[in-house]
Amino acid sequence: MWKKTFHTVSLILLLLIASPFMVTGESTVEVMALSGTTGLSLVKLLEEQPTIYPGVTFNYTVLKSPDQISAKIISGEADIAAVPTNLASILYNRGIPLQLAAITNWGVMYVVGSASTISSWQDLKGQEIGVTGKGSTPDLLFRYFLTANGIDPEEDVTIRYYASPAELTQLVIADKVRLATLPEPWVTEALSRNLSLTVLLDYQQTWQQLEQR
Domains of the chain, first to last: 2-105 (3.40.190.10), 109-211 (3.40.190.10)
Q: Can you say how many angstroms the Cα of residue 26 is from the centroid of all Cα atoms in its chain?
A: 34
Rounded distance between C-alpha atoms, residue 11 and residue 203, angstroms: 12
Per-residue pLDDT tens listing for the chain (213 residues): 333 333 333 344 555 554 444 444 448 889 898 877 677 777 778 888 888 878 888 899 988 888 898 999 999 899 888 887 778 888 888 998 888 887 776 668 899 998 778 999 999 999 999 998 888 778 988 999 999 999 999 999 999 999 888 899 999 999 999 999 998 888 999 999 999 999 999 998 898 888 875
Q: How far apart are the first and last CA of the chain?
A: 15
DSSP sequence for 140-207? HHHHHHHHHTT--TTTTSEEEEES-HHHHHHHHHTTS-SEEEEETTHHHHHHHH-TT-EEEEEHHHHH
Q: Report yes or no: 153 and 83 within 8 Å, Cβ to Cβ.
A: no
28-66: buried (b, 16+ CB within 10 Å) or exposed (e) per residue?
Answer: ebbbbbbbbbbbbbbeeeeeeeeeeeeeeebebebbeeb
Report the predicted TM-score, pTM, of the whole model to 2 decimal places: 0.66
**CA torsion through residues 107, 149, 144, 115, sign:** negative
**pLDDT score, position 10:** 36
By DSSP bridging, strand 80-84 and strand 12-17 are antiparallel
pLDDT of res. 193: 97
- From the list 35, 31, 1, 3, the residue with the least C-alpha distance to 15 is 31
Q: Which pLDDT score, from 0 to 100, does residue 142 have?
A: 95
